[in-house]
Chains A and B, each alone.
Chain A
Amino acid sequence: MSEEPKPKPKIDLNRREMPKQEEHVRSHNFLEVALGYTAELAMAEARRCLQCKKPFCIADCPVQIKIPEFIQAIADGDFAAGVRILKERNSLPSVCGRVCPQEEQCEKHCALTKRGGTIAVGRLERFLGDWEAAQPEMALPELSSPTGKKVAIIGGGPAGLTAAADLIKAGHQVVIYEALHKMGGVLYYGIPEFRLPKAIVDREVDYLRRLGVEMHTDFVVGKTRSMDSILEEFDAVFVATGAGLPWFMEMSGNNFNGVYSANEYLTRINLMKGYAYPKNDTPIKRHRKVAVLGGGNVAMDCARTALRLGAEATIVYRRSRTELPARLEEIENAEEEGVKFHYLTLPVRTIGDDRFNVTALECLKMELGEPDASGRRSPVPIPGSEFILPFDSVIHAIGNSPNPLIPQTTPGLTIGRKGNIVIDSETGKTSKERVWAGGDIATGAATVISAMGAARKAASSIHEFLMS
């Protein structure tokens, strides 16, 4: 039998769209906006992958998921195999598939990107994570035999959860201490339900619990118990306390009622379920006109939340649309839902009434000048261009610094200029013996996946230390 030359596969550039809730429906509810691929859509998308010999997608992934392999498994319809490949490198696929900035990472240099047909890696990742969760039984991986070593993890965000997964699989005993009453860190209190349903976070946390990770919520290390006392009981400690210290723009009027940090606003809604008030006890004001200061993902989350609570939401940003640091997908979602945008506008003062309630924002008009160090054109105020916009609420979504609780209460930790814990970037080691750190506490506010990547490096360094 003579071998027939394989026909060259036709390149399919049709990136499959993921069904979404209609904008006029979703802007009134807290249900997830994107609905996910069906198995058919996922397989059709997966079959488009060229299975490059030298895949750029892996190189651009902070945890180096074997992307072409899991995509091939989807194409073959073997979803269980896909999950196994994915989970070798990423313990939170349902989360990352939803919140990672794929366009900056795995999808950026996809061989099909130049031709306008980038493979939807994130959507496929999400599909597998959700497929697994829908199965009657989530398979538990083999754990190595117990080493008898104990590791404490401080902070239950993505960095803490990831390190816990790696270390328990390696046979160590793992205990997580979390300050809030729910595990998940920003995944729980910050990112809104309509982008990342809390049931998914609970599910991932539950999976770790079933692996044997011990979790103590309502436990503030540095207050409930000092780091040094924890070090007496444990062989190693991983600090993953995140970037929880909110910034406010420097201007007058920040303490009027109706002014919030993004953290407070989102925490009231997500962690405390304020949208169910008064059934739930934590109150949330029903503001009518909400200004959100900032242009990142957090700002989009706040504006879209305000909208769902029935307010008119406006993003006030000092540069133009092209400079918005938020992901394009989030900007488009916000625009579709009806969030307003005031570009080239610098807030200079919050105005309130005699009962301390916000009534307006005084702003200056800006124009774009020369590009700054970051390459973005820096905005310059136009003198005399002051104007007033009426609002009854102002949310500051301009960033967070590392949480200062551990740095302030732990002797022997070297702290950087921005309040971050200084680590060796390869190992996550801090200046204090037997203490590692990673995620936002070390880098300042960054991304879920970079926190997870840092956690995996630290976990492997901790493992090496414990076994030597």
Chain B
Amino acid sequence: MVKILENKMIVPNICTITVFAPEIAGSVKAGQFAILRVDEDGERIPLTVSDWDAERGTITMVYVMVGKTTQKLATLTTNDTLATVVGPLGNPMEIDLFGKVICIGGCYGNASIYPIARALKEKGNRVTSIIEGRSSYMLYWQEKLKTVSDQLIVITRDGSQGKAGHIGNLKSILAAGTPPDRVIVNGCNYLMMRAAQETLPFKIKTIVSLNTLMIDGTGMCGVCRVTVNSSTKFACVDGPHFDAHEVDWDELAQRRKAYLSEEVQTLRSSMAQ
């Protein structure tokens, strides 16, 4: 049983949860995730560890309320417990002195790129962070990101803050100024795929952190299979970070949808209760 220290909605439909997990807080590195299970009958879902405090023994994750599990999660409060929090899983993001790095985050990725930007900055890179969202009220963690970035660029679809538009704006950002040595993208698979399309003509190494379905997170079940560079990889142990230009995005999108009809059914029955 893992104790919840704080669980709150920060922007519509997106919540942060902080739990007491000292072992994980002591060993997690930027880019790793944890697997959570709300209660005994619960399913296992992966969430990126977006911040942590090794001294206090806490880890923080950000989740979007999409299915039954995340909805259930959102009803819990301080001092409630979770049946499982296991991690840190997956490989850490490769952190090195690359030179100039652009970190892009959308959705939960606003948060999950934060520790990546921080680690890159500590390594001496010049870090530009880009966050994107529907509107200014959907963005969060901007102040945190500013402290670990040389520059923060905001893109909103309705133009309520920063540049108006979407990830397609990346092209103009890349074309202006010196091109980055590496681009890292975190967020929904569509955002990552689109970003990869934008960086391809510039031949910029682009790393994405794939979010697949998962069960164990230790390489045991294979539900997290993705095709990268024409070969099958298990996202939980071989990834979740891969070269965006080698990922089979169509397959990934279809595999994510595998349980869509079941999810709709569970949501319906859980709402009816």
Assuming the contacts A223-B27, A255-B251, asked whether A246 and B222 have C-beta atoms less than 8 A apart, the reply is yes
Contact yes or no, B42 A281, CB < 8 A: yes
Nearest neighbor of B250 in chain A, beta-carbon distance: A356
B140 to chain A, nearest CB (A): 27
Assuming the contacts A219-B86, A224-B27, A355-B254, asked whether A245 and B41 have C-beta atoms less than 8 A apart, the reply is no
Assuming the contacts A267-B215, A282-B43, asked whether A179 and B222 have C-beta atoms less than 8 A apart, the reply is no
Assuming the contacts A219-B86, A254-B232, A257-B255, asked whether A281 and B220 have C-beta atoms less than 8 A apart, the reply is no
Contact yes or no, A356 B255, CB < 8 A: yes
Q: Which of B230-273 contact A (CB under 8 A)?
A: 232, 237, 251, 254-255, 257-259, 262-263, 265-266, 269-270
Q: Does residue B69 face the partner (Cβ distance < 8 Å to A)?
A: yes
Contact yes or no, A219 B23, CB < 8 A: yes
Q: Does residue B88 face the partner (Cβ distance < 8 Å to A)?
A: yes
Q: How many angstroms from the CA of A405 to the CA of B86 in the assembled complex? A: 15
Q: How many angstroms from the CA of A219 to the CA of B42 in the assembled complex? A: 18
* Neighbour of A264 across the interface among B42, B85, B89, B223, CB < 8 A: B223
Q: Does residue B83 face the partner (Cβ distance < 8 Å to A)?
A: yes
Contact yes or no, B84 A181, CB < 8 A: yes
- On chain B, the residues within 8 Å of A219 by CB distance are 23, 86
Among A271-279, A333-341, A361-369, the stretch that binds chain B is: A271-279
Contact yes or no, A179 B255, CB < 8 A: no
Contact yes or no, B255 A283, CB < 8 A: no
Q: Does residue A171 face the partner (Cβ distance < 8 Å to B)?
A: no
Contact yes or no, A248 B265, CB < 8 A: no
Size of B's binding interface in residues, CB under 8 A = 44
Contact yes or no, A220 B222, CB < 8 A: no
Q: Does residue A403 face the partner (Cβ distance < 8 Å to B)?
A: yes
Q: How many angstroms from the CA of A355 to the CA of B68 in the assembled complex? A: 24
- Taken residue by residue from 203 to 235, chain B's Cβ proximity to chain A (1 for < 8 Å, 0 otherwise) reads as 000000000000110111111011100001000
A354 to chain B, nearest CB (A): 9
Assuming the contacts A245-B219, A355-B254, A403-B220, asked whether A281 and B89 have C-beta atoms less than 8 A apart, the reply is no
Nearest neighbor of B86 in chain A, beta-carbon distance: A218
Contact yes or no, B263 A218, CB < 8 A: no
B221 to chain A, nearest CB (A): 4
In this complex, the member of A224, A246, A260 whose beta carbon has the largest number of chain B beta carbons within 10 angstroms is: A224
Q: How many angstroms from the CA of A279 to the CA of B39 in the assembled complex? A: 12
- Taken residue by residue from 258 to 273, chain A's Cβ proximity to chain B (1 for < 8 Å, 0 otherwise) reads as 0011011001100011
Q: How many angstroms from the CA of A268 to the CA of B221 in the assembled complex? A: 9
B191 to chain A, nearest CB (A): 21
Contact yes or no, A180 B237, CB < 8 A: no
* Neighbour of B24 across the interface among A224, A261, A273, A356, CB < 8 A: A224
Q: Does residue A295 face the partner (Cβ distance < 8 Å to B)?
A: no
In this complex, the member of A246, A255, A267 whose beta carbon has the largest number of chain B beta carbons within 10 angstroms is: A255
- Taken residue by residue from 187 to 218, chain A's Cβ proximity to chain B (1 for < 8 Å, 0 otherwise) reads as 00100000000000000000000000000011
Q: How many angstroms from the CA of A277 to the CA of B270 in the assembled complex? A: 12
Contact yes or no, B88 A218, CB < 8 A: no
Q: Does residue B118 face the partner (Cβ distance < 8 Å to A)?
A: no
In this complex, the member of B84, B86, B88 whose beta carbon has the largest number of chain A beta carbons within 10 angstroms is: B86
* Neighbour of B221 across the interface among A226, A255, A267, A281, CB < 8 A: A267
A409 to chain B, nearest CB (A): 11
Q: Which of A278-299 contact B (CB under 8 A)?
A: 278-285
Q: How many angstroms from the CA of A179 to the CA of B85 in the assembled complex? A: 11
- Taken residue by residue from 77 to 95, chain A's Cβ proximity to chain B (1 for < 8 Å, 0 otherwise) reads as 0000000000000000000
Q: Which of B136-173 contact A (CB under 8 A)?
A: none
Contact yes or no, B69 A248, CB < 8 A: no
Q: How many angstroms from the CA of A405 to the CA of B87 in the assembled complex? A: 13
Q: Does residue B37 face the partner (Cβ distance < 8 Å to A)?
A: yes
- Taken residue by residue from 401 to 419, chain A's Cβ proximity to chain B (1 for < 8 Å, 0 otherwise) reads as 0011100000000000000
Q: How many angstroms from the CA of A248 to the CA of B221 in the assembled complex? A: 11
Assuming the contacts A245-B219, A272-B215, asked whether A223 and B254 have C-beta atoms less than 8 A apart, the reply is no
- On chain B, the residues within 8 Å of A403 by CB distance are 218-220
* Neighbour of A404 across the interface among B219, B225, B266, CB < 8 A: B219
- On chain B, the residues within 8 Å of A277 by CB distance are 262, 266
Q: Does residue B121 face the partner (Cβ distance < 8 Å to A)?
A: no
Nearest neighbor of B267 in chain A, beta-carbon distance: A278
Identify 15 new A-B residue pairs, CB closer than 8 A, beyond the known A224-B87, A255-B255.
A179-B86, A180-B218, A181-B37, A218-B86, A219-B23, A224-B86, A225-B23, A255-B232, A255-B251, A257-B255, A261-B222, A273-B41, A281-B42, A283-B262, A283-B266
Sampled A-B contacts (6; CB under 8 Å): A181-B44, A246-B221, A257-B258, A278-B270, A282-B215, A404-B219
* 4 shortest interchain CB distances as A-B pairs: A356-B254, A283-B262, A264-B221, A218-B86
